[in-house]
Amino acid sequence: MSTLLLGIDIGTYSSKGVLATPDGELLRTHVVPHGLDLPHPGWAEQDPDGVWWHDVIAICRALLDGEPYTGADVAALAVSAIGPCLVPLDAGGRPLRPGILYGIDTRATEEIQLLEDRYGAERIFRDAGMNLSSQAVGPKILWMQRHEPDLWARTARVTTASSYVTFRLTGEHVMDRHTASYFIPLFDARTQEWTDAFGFLDLGMLPRLGWSDELAGTVTPEAAMQTGLRAGTPVAVGAVDALSEAISVGAVESGDLMLMYGTTAFFILVGQELTPHPSLWNVSGAYDGQRNIAAGMATTGALTQWLRTTLLPEVSEEEAFARLFEEAAAVPAGSDGLLLLPYFSGERTPIQDPQARGVLAGLNLTHTRGHLFRAALEGIGLGIRHNLEAFRELGAPIQRIVAVGGGTRSREWLQIVSDITGVPQLLPTVTIGASYGDAFLAGLVGGAVRRDDIQRWNPPRETIAPNPGVRPIYDARFGEYRALYDQTRDIVHHLAGAAGR
């Protein structure tokens, strides 16, 4: 009998598939690494068939190779992917060019300005619940219209990575509302539906909208032949990778916040109300009627990586991190007067300042490598607190934080963040990531699980509680952190412009 749940996540550098039972037990996983094309500075692309669809086939073939499972064992599946992307399709549903990736592709900066001039930044904000940024898809559509008019003339549909793969599986064009929220100015945050208020695009070119746990369609005979799945297997609408990661750790109820410690930091807070904020991202949630507020810092794990390769270049990554975190732990809270702004590649939320840069203030001759590393961890923690304060300004209650990502391997870093923010953080039992959330979505669409079963699939394994003893030190540091940015901003912008000249 078909009882197993298949989840597939397409990431920036690899895709991962998991096969799970309806109780959340992991049976098999498979990872397929892939590349990222950076054909020009500021461009980031991937081939929809050569990478995304190829990976789905490879994962299905590997997980369902008959040893012991086959496609006949799969009750349902769901796919998540990097996003929002722009994937233009011709009338036959074939991609016309490589997919233009999410916010790391910054080619449409001029088009953001053009759209704001054309429609008015305030009107766009009112309808979308957030401002245009490199994450928005509308400016990328305008970029194609301006720079690739011949291809655009042949474009019959626009979609995103997860929706493209789901289309290859089912023949249905469907997009989850969370991803669609970034298709500004085509999505109305108030109604959570497509809008043609701006007359920007024929809405017939867009996929139908759905919630992540709804049915997108069923596997077609052709897709069944390619993947080894059974024709007729239900496929859920799916999600963008970060949302599936939040689902995977049970951050799905109002007041739950997922905090991702990756190369960058990413926040998803679940709520029920629309709460527009000029420097956060207001998006639809995974499940019917839900809203999310999302936020992201530009340089968190990337900063720890930079320090590791700069301070301990001869040592393996594992050993270097072990030494640096140990040395940082020996330095007292507040880093003996050293304060760091972590904006090494500009900052996303809440300051939204691409020209911001790192600042190290208060250095003296007694400071050590451990001080530098601790100051970086504290600077990132202060940036996290800054984002949490922005959430609170909205009156959005944070009931609990679930921490995920590579950085959670360090207890010291987690402790510093809890101490600075004053908020406890939960660590999940299963840390496999978005593909596990996709398997859960597959369970929902197939009726094998109920929403609250995720707490049984992935209960918290540990809580990092804040130490109230150091709170006064960090309260003072937070004020200094804010002031240091305000008081150095102009000169740092100037220096950013001078770099490389």
Q: How far is the CB of 220 from ligand ADP (least distance, A)?
A: 32
Nearest approach, Cβ of residue 195 and ligand ADP (Å) = 32
**Given candidates 61, 409, 451, 482, which one binds ligand ADP under the rule CB under 6 A?**
409
Contact stretch for ligand ADP (CB under 6 A) within 45-53, 353-361, 368-376, 401-409: 401-409
Dihedral-angle region of residue 363 (phi above 0 means left; psi in -120 to 50 means alpha; beta otherwise): beta
Closer to ligand ADP by Cβ: residue 18 or 445: 18
Q: CB of residue 312 vs ligand ADP: minimum separation in angstroms?
A: 12
- Please, which residue, 362 or 406, has the CB nearer to ligand ADP? 406
Positive or negative, the CA dihedral 128, 104, 311, 33 is: positive
Q: Is 407 in the site for ligand ADP (CB under 6 A)?
A: yes
Rule CB under 6 A: is residue 67 a binding residue for ligand ADP? Answer: no
- Buried b / exposed e over 108-124, threshold 16 CB at 10 Å, is beebbeebbeebeeeeb
* Contacts of ligand ADP in 250-309 (CB under 6 A): 262-263, 301, 304-305
**H helices of 49-172, where?**
54-63, 109-119, 121-128, 138-147, 149-153, 161-170
**Kind plus residue range of the DSSP H or E element containing 256:** strand 256-261
Nearer to ligand ADP, 304 or 425 (CB): 304
Closer residue to ligand ADP (CB): 323 or 482: 323
**Sign of CA pseudo-dihedral 445, 449, 454, 457:** negative
CA dist., res. 48 & res. 207, Å (int): 16
Q: Is 437 in the site for ligand ADP (CB under 6 A)?
A: no
Shortest Å distance, C-beta 398 to ligand ADP: 22
Compute the least distance from the CB of residue 380 to ligand ADP, in Å: 9
Q: Based on CB atoms, which residue is closest to ligand ADP, 306 or 478?
A: 306
Work out how close the CB of 412 gets to ligand ADP at its nearest, in angstroms, rounded to a whole number.
9
Q: Cα(225)–Cα(67) distance, rounded to whole angstroms?
A: 18
Q: How far is the CB of 282 from ligand ADP (least distance, A)?
A: 23
CB of 433 to ligand ADP, least distance (A): 8
Question: Least CB distance from residue 138 to ligand ADP, whole Å?
Answer: 26
Candidate segments 21-29, 399-407, 438-446, 468-476, binder of ligand ADP by CB under 6 A = 399-407
By beta-carbon proximity to ligand ADP, the closer residue of 305 and 355 is 305
**Tally of CB atoms within 10 A around 52:** 26
User: What x/- string results for residues 15 through 54 when contact with ligand ADP is judged by CB under 6 A?
Assistant: ----------------------------------------
Minimum CB distance to ligand ADP, residue 325 (Å)? 6
Question: If phi over 0 gives left and psi between -120 and 50 gives alpha, with beta otherwise, what is residue 199?
Answer: left
The helix/strand/coil state of 167 is helix
Least Å distance between CB 65 and ligand ADP? 27
Q: Where does this chain touch ligand ADP (CB under 6 A) — which range of 26-34, 74-82, 278-286, 406-414?
A: 406-414
Nearer to ligand ADP, 132 or 298 (CB): 298
Q: Least distance in Å: CB of 409 to ligand ADP?
A: 4
Please pick, from the candidates 405, 443, 446, 466, the single residue that binds ligand ADP as defined by CB under 6 A.
Answer: 405
Taking the complex as a whole, how short is the minimal distance between the CB of residue 316 and ligand ADP, in angstroms? 10
Is residue 197 within 8 Å of 209, Cβ to Cβ? no
345 binds ligand ADP (CB under 6 A): no
For residues 459 and 448, give the distance between their C-alpha atoms in angstroms, rounded to a whole number: 19
Per-residue CA distances from 274 to 222, 277, 377 (Å): 41, 10, 32
70: left (phi over 0), alpha (psi -120 to 50) or beta: beta
Interface with ligand ADP: number of residues (CB under 6 A): 12
Select the span of 2-10, 80-88, 356-364, 407-415 touching ligand ADP (CB under 6 A): 407-415
For residue 259, what are its two tokens? 């905090």
Residue 321 engages ligand ADP in binding (rule: CB under 6 A): yes
Among 171, 217, 358, 406, binds ligand ADP (CB under 6 A): 406
Q: Which of 159, 179, 410, 425 binds ligand ADP (CB under 6 A)?
A: 410
- Helical ranges in 422-498 per DSSP H: 434-446, 454-457, 471-498
Q: Which is nearer to ligand ADP, 272 or 309 (CB)?
A: 309
Which single residue brings its beta carbon nearest to ligand ADP? 406
Q: CA of 199: how far to CAs of 74, 129, 138, 154, 297, in Å?
A: 43, 18, 12, 19, 33
Write the CA distances from 434 to 239, 242, 343, 352, 476, integer angstroms. Answer: 9, 7, 27, 27, 37
CA 71 to chain CA centroid, Å, is 30
Q: How many residues does the chain have?
A: 501
Tokens encoding 93: 């549903």
**Closer CB to ligand ADP, 238 or 405, in the complex:** 405
Measured in whole angstroms, how far is the alpha carbon of residue 86 from the centre of its chain? 16
Residues that bind ligand ADP (CB under 6 A): 262-263, 301, 304-305, 318, 321, 405-407, 409-410
